Amino acid sequence: MKKNLVLIFAFIWGGSLAQEVTTNIKGLYVDFGFDSPSEITIVSPKDLTAKSRGLKRVDKKFVEIEGIVKDAEGVKQLALNEELIDVGSDGYFITNMALSVGENDLVFSVLDKEDNKTDTSFQLVRYQNEVATPDGGKYYALLIGIENYKDSSFIDLDYPIDDAQKLYEVLVDQYAFNTERVTLVLDATRESIINALDDLTSVVTPVDNVLIFYAGHGIWDEKAEIGYWLPSNAEEGKKADWFRNSALRDYIKEINSRHTLLIADACFSGSIFKSRSVLIGADAATNKMHKLPSRKAMTSGTLTAVPDKSVFMKFLIDRLEKNEETYVSAGQLFSSFKIAVMNNSDTTPQYGIVQNAGDEGGDFIFIKRTEE
């Protein structure tokens, strides 16, 4: 770290009288040296200053950062968030950084030629523009990931929370989902699931679009022919804290949206369908599918168990990330990865209508963000 100036004073005792030794006695004033801190000047983006922590707002995923670094001892190394950056002999540097939606910390670390380190912090805030939809509708999402179960009878899972977070990132980063309308509920209880669904029923309008995602345990009661989600507080043999598919169907009907799409990655997730039939997607034009209300579901399997590490989610996220079309229907999306899931797992994903919930033949349309 940077070294400080050190002053040493000596006192000489003569008899009972103490006499202070003053400045002209050689050797009692020792200067170990003082290194001024390194200086970082940001040329672009403009108005990014360390004093204000640089609350600069940008609307792009990637930002080019241009600046100058100075140090009296010379710059040995420069890093941004621990990634090394090339620096010219005049201290000039330029680099690109991918930004997440929201606050992004930029920590520049300068190592001078005497191995003294100086850190300078800035912050960039990436905001989202509204994506125009044909009728002004907004996109809402409720993403539920459950791994940790109160009852040891249910095996804890390793991947649902990560899958929910990855889906969150791709939706807000690449599609028409703004962060303030996406709710991420991790290790949800039955109460928190119901509260989140109630919130949707209170804010969604008839021109809006809703995506509901669930990853966690599911169970199928063969005798009663009823499927359930198992919230984190579910107990074996006590259905009071289980969440019935019929209750979910009622919520999908109650949420007053233009389109609602359910994506479920859980054992027995196919039980949400009244029948086993699978709808791969219609040949109708995208604008016609958008105009007609829809209540569709996309599931990782049928009435079977599915693995903790989901091949279904792997290909779903992959196709969303790689999609280059401005508009893609849920049916088209599903068709793009169904065979890949079947070829790489023992499960058969499904896409179809949630019966008796208000579907009129339309489809959920994913709208791709364009680079600002």
Q: Which of 129, 113, 110 is nearest to 59 (CA)?
A: 129
Asked whether residue 25 carries a pLDDT value surpassing 80, the answer given is: no
Q: Which of 238, 153, 224, 152 is nearest to 190 (CA)?
A: 238
Give the mean pLDDT of the chain: 81
Between vectors from CA 291 to CA 289 and to CA 295, what angle results, nearest 5°?
65
CA distance 95 to 84: 10
Q: What is the pLDDT of residues 139-164, one digit of tens each?
A: 999 999 999 999 988 888 888 999 99
Give the type of residue at 76: K
The pTM of the whole model exceeds 0.85: no
Lowest mean pLDDT among 84-93, 121-130, 172-181, 233-242: 121-130
Buried b (16+ CB within 10 A) or exposed e, 114-149: eebebebebbbebebeebebeeebbbbbbbbbbbeb
Would you place residue 291 in the very low, low, confident or very high pLDDT band (cuts 50, 70, 90)?
A: confident
- Separate counts of helices (H) and strands (E) for the chain: 6, 21
Which residue in the block uniquely carries the two structure tokens 């989902």? 177
pLDDT average, residue stretch 78-98? 94
Asked whether residue 56 carries a pLDDT value surpassing 80, the answer given is: no
Handedness of CA 341, 345, 346, 347 (dihedral sign): negative
Of residues 60 and 339, the one with the higher pLDDT is 339
pLDDT at res. 292: 87
CA distance 122 to 139: 32
Q: Which of 234, 241, 237, 229 is nearest to 265 (CA)?
A: 229
Question: Treating both helix axes as pointing N-terminal to C-terminal, what angle do 311-322 and 160-174 enclose, rounded to 10 degrees?
Answer: 10
Asked whether residue 336 carries a pLDDT value surpassing 50, the answer given is: yes
Asked whether residue 284 carries a pLDDT value surpassing 70, the answer given is: no
Which residue in the block uniquely carries the two structure tokens 């229907």? 329
Of residues 28 and 136, the one with the higher pLDDT is 136
Handedness of CA 170, 173, 178, 181 (dihedral sign): positive
Of residues 30 and 185, the one with the higher pLDDT is 185
User: Cβ distance 77 to 111 under 8 Å?
Assistant: yes
User: Cβ distance 252 to 295 under 8 Å?
Assistant: yes
| Domain annotation for the chain: domains and CATH numbers | 39-126 (2.60.40.10), 139-367 (3.40.50.1460)
Would you place residue 337 in the very low, low, confident or very high pLDDT band (cuts 50, 70, 90)?
A: very high
User: Cβ distance 123 to 54 under 8 Å?
Assistant: yes
Q: Which of 153, 143, 236 is nearest to 187 (CA)?
A: 143
SS3 content of the chain, % helix, strand, coil (to 5): 20, 30, 45
Q: Which of 188, 144, 199 is nearest to 168 (CA)?
A: 144
- The encoded tokens of residue 248 equal 């979910």
Which value, to the nearest 10 degrees, does the dihedral of the CA atoms of residues 169, 174, 175, 176 take? 90
| Coil/strand/helix, residue 100 | coil
- Spatial strand order in the sheet of 226-229: 218-221, 226-229, 243-244
CA distance 317 to 307: 17
Q: Which residues pair with 372 in a beta bridge?
A: none
pLDDT at res. 304: 53
